[in-house]
Chains A and B, each alone.
Chain A
Amino acid sequence: MPDALSVSGLVVPGRGGRTILSVDSLTLPKGRSLGVRGPSGAGKSTLLYALAGLIEEAAGHVTWEGVDLSAMSPDRRGAFRAERMGLIFQDFLLFEELSGIDNAALPALFAPRAARGRIAARAAGLLDRLGLAEPERGVDSYSGGERQRVGVARALANDAGIVLADEPTASLHRGAADALIEDLTAMASDEGKTLVAVSHDPALLDRMDRVITIADGRITDEVGP
């Protein structure tokens, strides 16, 4: 199976000449999942943001499905994310003033005109599949589990092949976290998504094909194929 992700010589500098993250090499086949664990402040989220092409100062190469993000302008990296990536955040990052469906269909607002309808329809379908009862309701009235389901639907609304999740279960109680893990991994598996999830949650990490451990900005351990 070809690699969906290929990282080489990735370095994220910090203040005062410090190196926050240094990854010599990392690969992940298409359709597989990668868990990233490690202590707080180790550089897990920084790795995720670097993989998403969000860190301007990052050096080295991050290549997704044959496209080297490092060689692209910020705007083109943005366009790549809009089309081929979905992001999930620990604290959901929803627009509290909008409904569940409007939040899930957020990528439609800035997508090309031809794709807007498709994204909105898929967002509605995903919310339905995720069991969100009242998607027209404002998200400010949702439980944590419901909010994260909206976050997952938003990440998958553009039908991207790559899903990056930053501590997706950290703000949920156990029951909601387990349900989300089930939904997320099942959907990623069913639709052949390449999933990278940063987490402290063993239940989530256990469902990943491969798990790496990061400490002091470096990969120190790797479990799985």
Chain B
Amino acid sequence: MTALWDSLSVPVQDALWLAMLLVPALAVGGLVLRGLRPWPLVRAMLWRFRGPNLLFLVLIAVAVGLGIGLLAQERGLRAGTAAAADKFDMIVAAPGSEMTMLLAAVYLQPSDVGLLSGDVFAGIAGHPNVAMAAPLAFGDSYKGAPVVGTIADFVRHLGDDRIEGRMFETSTEAVAGAFAPVALGEVFEPAHGVGDVAQDDDNRHAHAGAGFHVVGRMAPTGTPWDRALIVPIEAVWEVHGLANGHAPAPADAADPLGPPFDAAYFPGTPAIVIRSDALWANYALRSTFTREAETMAFFPGAVLAQLYRVMGDVRQAMSVMALVSQVLVAASVLVGLLILIRLFRRQLALLRALGAPARFVFAVVWSYAASLLAAGAVLGLGVGWLAAAVLSRVLSARTDILIAASLGWPELHFVAGFLSVATVLALLPGVAVRRMKIVDALRG
């Protein structure tokens, strides 16, 4: 059986899960409604209490919508952060926290980390299985956008070579991220530091005279690098009064830009992004470049996977909490419905007096409650989609990570589960009505 299940494609498994989760709802509905047609009276009840019914509908829809919206958001966040790290096959940095380094290199969150020397960089860049070794340099900003130094190959790699304008060719040129606060052709002077630090007068003018001409703009990558201003790493070193990674050139020669770097003039880099053309070589490279007290090499994807494992537990807890809160809302709504049904009890008693089977009256009451719960759940899908879209926009704007949360199978499963629980709970008002004394109810 397990083998058969495993042999099915994921969409088929998801569809079967959905069907299985809907079975209780369909079974209850089928049993209650078999051969009956209570809908004219259900419509009458829905219309009579339209105000409270609308309120109940909104309550259920919001409860369901927020639950599934948050779950979709968590999945979108996971996918977005993973996609942002996609171009960072491996990072080598000074020993320390992989997470800190991941945040600094991939998500451009500033932090104080140790530097790797020119010899270390040369060893890595010269390794036969390394196709690209890109040093990174952080620490400056312009209008809140980080200014990052690196090499042209990495910019091409990051943006899939999609650049409006052209790549920087001198140490006074820059390429802007897709959403960086500069226009093509603009000249900007970076401030020293990022965030509030960069607002100090000293820091704001620390690099006065070091203007960068924006010559290109990358296509959107869905990463925080979309807000970055990317300059040659040599320029970052130079504006900080350091050597530029190359031996001094003759006066009439053009400034060298990009690798190879001269280890003797290499000021240091906090991180090196490595790409290897051979997938099999990656694990060997990680082992090679992880040297006690000198370097650590890690796969950003592996660090994120650890993070997701922790988030996976959180997700499960969120799922349970969301379901519990929705069931509580549904139970509250059912209590409200019981009160409303009491207002309708004379009409229900009338049906029994006219000879309607108890099962028919039960079906009227169940259908009324189940209709509201089901409509609320379906409406909740819409609310969930909207909540996910709004949250995605807010989070994308705040993190610069492209988060595209959409409703998927997990959310459909969630709503199906809620529907089944709700249709079973909807039996309770019907049970209460069955115990009603007809004559007492007729007399009001």
Which A residues contact B (CB, under 8 angstroms)?
Answer: 45-46, 49, 52, 54-56, 74-75, 78-83, 85, 87, 89, 93, 95-98, 102, 106-107, 109-110, 113, 154
Mask of B36-77 contacts with A, CB within 8 angstroms, 1/0: 111011011101100000000000000000000000000000
By the criterion CB–CB under 8 Å, are B352 and A78 in contact? yes
Q: With A95-B44, A102-B40 as known contacts, state yes or no: A82 contacts B438, CB within 8 Å.
A: no
Instruction: Closest A residue to B344 by CB, please name it.
Output: A95
DSSP class of B's interface residues: helix, strand, loop or mixed? helix
- In the bound complex, residues from chain B placing their C-beta under 8 Å from that of A85 are 355
Partner of A83, one of B38, B352, B355, B356: B355
Known contacts A54-B439, A93-B346; A110 and B40 CB within 8 A of each other:
no
Q: Which of B351-369 contact A (CB under 8 A)?
A: 351-358, 360
Task: Considering the complex, give the chain A residue whose CB is closest to the CB of B35.
Answer: A113
A54 contact set on B, CB distance < 8 A: 352-353, 438-439, 442
Q: A93-B346, A98-B44, A102-B40 are in contact. Are A75 and B358 (CB under 8 A)?
A: yes
Q: What CA separation (Å) do A81 and B353 show in the bound complex?
A: 8
Let me know if A78 and B355 touch, CB within 8 A.
yes
- A189 CB to closest chain B CB (Å) equals 23
Q: How far is the CB of A114 from chain B (nearest CB, A)?
A: 12
Contacts of B41 in A (CB 8 A): 95, 109
- Tell me the smallest distance from the CB of A143 to a CB of chain B, in Å: 20
Contact at B347–A107, with CB atoms within 8 Å?
Answer: no
- B437: interface (CB < 8 Å): yes
- Are B37 and A109 neighbours in the complex by a CB distance under 8 Å? yes
- Kindly list 4 other residue pairs between chains A and B, CB separation below 8 angstroms, not including A54-B438, A82-B355: A81-B355, A95-B44, A102-B40, A109-B38
CB nearest to B48 among chain A residues: A97
- A110 and B355 in contact, given A93-B346, A93-B350 (Cβ under 8 angstroms): yes
Q: Of B47, B356, B438, which is within 8 A of A97 by CB?
A: B47
Shortest CB–CB separation between residue A16 and chain B, in angstroms? 17
Q: Give CA–CA (A69, B43) in the complex, Å.
A: 34
B176 to chain A, nearest CB (A): 64
Q: List 12 A-B contacts (CB under 8 A).
A: A52-B353, A54-B353, A56-B437, A78-B357, A89-B350, A89-B442, A96-B48, A97-B44, A106-B354, A109-B40, A110-B355, A110-B360
Cα A76 to Cα B347 in complex, Å, equals 20
Taken together as a complex, chains A and B put the C-alpha atoms of A54 and B355 apart, in Å, by: 10
Closest chain A residue, CB of each to CB of B39? A109
Closest Cβ of chain A: how far from B352's Cβ, in Å?
A: 6
Q: Bound complex: CA of A93 vs CA of B437, how far in Å?
A: 17
Point out the residues of chain A lying under 8 angstroms from B37, CB to CB: 109
- On whether the beta carbons of B355 and A109 are closer than 8 Å, the reply is no
Q: Which residues of A contact B48 (CB under 8 A)?
A: 96-97
Whether B354 and A107, one on each chain, are in contact in the complex, defined by CB atoms closer than 8 angstroms, is: yes
Q: Which single residue of chain B is at the shortest CB-CB distance from A50?
A: B439
Q: Are B353 and A110 interface neighbours, CB within 8 A?
A: no
Task: Give A49 to B37 CA distance when docked, in angstroms.
Answer: 27
Distance from B434 Cβ to chain A, minimum over Cβ atoms (Å): 11
Q: Which residue of B lies closest to A107 (CB)?
A: B354
- Give, as a whole number of angstroms, the nearest-CB distance from B192 to chain A: 73
> Smallest Cβ distance from B357 to chain A, in angstroms?
6
* B437 pairs with A87, CB closer than 8 A: no
Chain A residue with the shortest CB-CB distance to B358: A75
Q: Which 9 A-B pairs have the closest CB atoms?
A: A82-B355, A81-B355, A97-B44, A110-B356, A110-B360, A97-B47, A93-B350, A78-B355, A95-B44
A154 to B439: give the CA distance in the assembly, Å. Answer: 19
Q: Please measure, in the bound complex, the distance between the C-alpha atom of A182 and the C-alpha atom of B37, giving whole angstroms.
A: 35
Interface centre among B40, B354, B438, B439 (most CB of A within 10 A): B354
Contact of B354 with A87 in the complex, beta carbons under 8 Å: yes
Among residues of A, the one whose C-beta sits closest to the C-beta of B351 is: A110
A157 and chain B: residue at smallest CB distance: B354
Cβ–Cβ < 8 Å partners of B346 in chain A:
93
Could you tell me the distance between the alpha carbons of A87 and B361 in the complex, rounded to whole angstroms? 18
Say which residue of B36, B44, B354 sits within 8 Å of A81 (CB atoms): B354
> In the docked arrangement, what's the CA distance between A65 and B353, Å?
19
Distance of A23 Cα from B156 Cα, bound (Å): 102
Contacting residues, chain B, for A81 (C-beta < 8 A):
353-355
Within 8 A of A (CB), among B317-364: 346-347, 350-358, 360
Per the bound structure, the CA–CA distance linking A85 and B175 in Å amounts to 89
Instruction: A75 to B359: give the CA distance in the assembly, Å.
Output: 9
Contacts of A45 in B (CB 8 A): 443
Closest to A102 in B: B40
User: Do residues B355 and A79 form an inter-chain contact, with CB atoms below 8 A?
Assistant: yes
Query: For chain B residues 3-47, which have a beta carbon within 8 Å of chain A?
Result: 35-38, 40-41, 43-45, 47
Q: In angstroms, how far is the closest chain B Cβ from the Cβ of A49? A: 5
**B347 contacts A93, CB within 8 Å?**
yes
Question: Nearest-CB distance from B46 to chain A (Å)?
Answer: 9
Q: Which of A55, A80, A97 sits near B355, CB closer than 8 Å? A: A80
B51 → chain A closest CB, angstroms: 14
Residue in B36, B355, B358, B437 whose CB lies within 8 Å of A107: B355
A109 and B439 within 8 A (CB)? no
Contacts of B360 in A (CB 8 A): 109-110
Please tell me if the beta carbons of B358 and A74 are within 8 angstroms of each other in the complex.
yes
Minimum distance in angstroms from B295 CB to a CB of chain A? 77
Q: How far, in Å, is A41 (CB) from chain B's closest CB?
A: 12
A87 & B353 in contact (Cβ 8 Å cutoff): yes
Q: What is the distance, in angstroms, from A149's C-beta to the closest C-beta of chain B? A: 17
- Find chain A residues with CB under 8 A from B438 CB: 54
Within the complex, the shortest CB–CB distance from A39 to chain B, in Å, comes to 17
- Report chain A residues within 8 Å CB of B354: 81-82, 87, 106-107, 110, 154
Tell me whether A97 and B352 are in contact (CB under 8 A).
no
* Residues from chain B with Cβ under 8 Å of A78 in the complex: 352, 355-358
